Structure 1
Amino acid sequence: MNKGYLIGHVTVKDPDAYAEYAQAAAEAMQPFAPKIIAWSGQYENLEGESHQRHVVFEFASFDEAKRFYESPAYQAAKALRAGAATGTFVLVEGGNV
């Protein structure tokens, strides 16, 4: 089974409100136990819209990543992000290499 990846690119507008979201999102993520592949750090925007922060989480499968994103706990956390940040979130299925 191929892994699933949740990739987020975020620009924070309200750091205090975003911190609340980050805490709630981390708690919502615990039952899914994703592996952190990338978490901010150095980056270079090569094309397209630029954001301040970038994250990549690896889940056991695409379906598991989607279950996390659609979970009631994460949807409640996501509501805290509204107005605190803008960004793009994508689910990607890993391929067989």
Structure 2
Amino acid sequence: MNKGYLIAHVTVSDSAAYAEYAQAAGEAMKAFAPKIIAWSGQYENLEGEAHERHVIFKFDSYDEARRFYESPAYQLAKSIRAGAATGTFVLVEGAGF
């Protein structure tokens, strides 16, 4: 089965509010147990809009990644993020390894 990847590119404008979002998002993720593939660290913005943080989460499937994103717990976390950060969030179906 192909995996699902949630890729987030984020620029934070309110560190305190974003920390609240990160805590709420982490709690929401516990039920889905994604693996973190990449977490910020060194990067180069080669093309397109630049952001300061980048995270890639691997889920068991594309549908599982979507269920996480649409879950009530994550939607609550997302509402905390509003106004604290801007970014791009993408779901991608990937190889089954």
Aligned to 1:25: 25
* Unmatched 5+ stretches in structure 1: none
User: Percent of aligned positions with the same letter in both sequences?
Assistant: 79
Aligned to 2:82: 82
Q: RMSD of the alignment, in Å?
A: 1.0
The whole-number CA distance in structure 1 between the counterparts of 2:32 and 2:59 is: 7
The whole-number CA distance in structure 1 between the counterparts of 2:91 and 2:41 is: 21
Where 1:91 maps in the other structure, the secondary structure is strand
Quote how far apart the aligned CAs of 1:96 are: 5.8
The whole-number CA distance in structure 2 between the counterparts of 1:17 and 1:94 is: 32
The whole-number CA distance in structure 1 between the counterparts of 2:18 and 2:8 is: 14
* 1:47-73 per-position Cα deviation (integer Å, ceiling 9, x unaligned): 000000000000000000000000000
Aligned to 2:69: 69
Aligned to 1:51: 51
* 1:15-58 per-position Cα deviation (integer Å, ceiling 9, x unaligned): 00000000000000001000000010000000000000000000
Amino acid at match of 2:50: S
TM-score (norm. length: structure 2): 0.98
Aligned residues: 97
Aligned pair in 2 of structure 1 residues 10, 28: CA closer, same or farther (>3 Å)?
same
Where 1:22 maps in the other structure, the secondary structure is helix
* 1:65-84 per-position Cα deviation (integer Å, ceiling 9, x unaligned): 00000000000000000000
Aligned to 2:5: 5
